[in-house]
Structure 1
């Protein structure tokens, strides 16, 4: 009887590709049982498999049980395993020479740990480019080669054009960079840039207050903003500029509005449009199918008078949905008539 026929494939395993399944198996086999397999792999295969193990993270015991097949009875009582840099290095040390282990782990981690490069690739390109403007173009060229390609492109776009061109030429002419050079660049970045990044990205209290005001009902929001107009007019103006309101939905691209319409509660949409300006109402109805738009117009006509508070709450729900979609990258909160994005 096929042992796997009686075991349903766990959902986690269904999400693994072939390499990830192999990585989980090698992690479970450990040093003793995995050694013959490691010795049969080429150096490139070892690098590829060990890189996958180092980023695998937590593996459920049910998935290990499924993947190991012949060792089901042994693995059934195991707790979760955890793939990490340390567990990868221990596995490699049991089957490869110290020099091979060092080479592979440096490819995976980077000389001083790849965590810093991961963090750099998540830093605002404007902030990072502002720092790099004061660095030598050769140093910047080394850094560009270590960043994710998409992030490097955005950083280059923020540099002065003459400097960006110089950096690109140096990247073209650059031979293999010595590891000690990369290590020195990492030390400098960690000491001069990363340590100051938290201070450079200190949260503006106006941003937080804009989020709070977005969540207020319209009457309370206006009352508090008017009070701020008297006591701190510059702050009130700053908060207004940062707030994303129902009226801002009218400046979205039709494709973004279409996503909102698909995912919103249709009852809330009708309530929101009942009190909406004509341009916003036209925009929302325009992205619907002919039948859906007719049904919505019929609903609006049959709705009769509604409480202003109900309309405001429904409009607030649409705004929160739009911001949530923007944060997930499903839509861009942008004015189609402007090149400036309003990213939240």
Structure 2
């Protein structure tokens, strides 16, 4: 196995940033999401000894990838703006565009995205459930799910219930909420432009990122209070086995971005139909190797399987946002 193959993608990125030096690495970090910064930071801190061969392999791979890029040097404001809007949609892209192109500081609510989930939960746990719902709806689904994990049990389902029924927020209310967190976090007073916040889809995305037992308990409590709403959320939720409904082109796009080790863990808990879906979109040799690896792996912890499946779902949702595959709801017709 080569040095490059031994390293996970995030470890290679960490080695690259450590090789760049503080100023250059900091400049790169400015363009990453809070979640990416956290993952890279942990990886950089945990690196012990990196051999010269490993470092050279990472730098060589980066140079080769860079040389293959065709858009290098375009770099205009309009190019960056168009790229971010296409990748993230206009709502999510606006705050990032403001910070990158105009050098704007993060707003009070935006600053929460850079905080540890436990710290955010501690900050909002005594707030009214409606305020908690607004904060959760403003976060990315995986971050919101982490925060929910640390909230008091009673507040969890109340907040998710309100996220699902939240359609829009008055600008004044959002502005006031933003100012409160700016004061608490000593942030700067910038304007937030959000037309819609929350809704059934937002609640479903957060639920998708919760661990299985926690999601089941919260859904049961929502169902007790509002059965129709619980069903609407359930219909919008997308679970790993629903990938069987993705077309072959989408599965192939997904396979290009998913590490083999992650796929092995995920497929340990997948249905036979979904396993075959992945196998038939690999080369014959790759499929045979994957089957052998699955058999050789033996029993694995449920938590490891769920973690791998969530990681793949997150990649699938990112690819859907970029228009590279199409995800149907859990109630959609599957292709066997």
Q: TM-score, normalised by structure 1?
A: 0.40
Higher relative contact order (CA 8 A, sep 6+): 2
Larger radius of gyration: 1
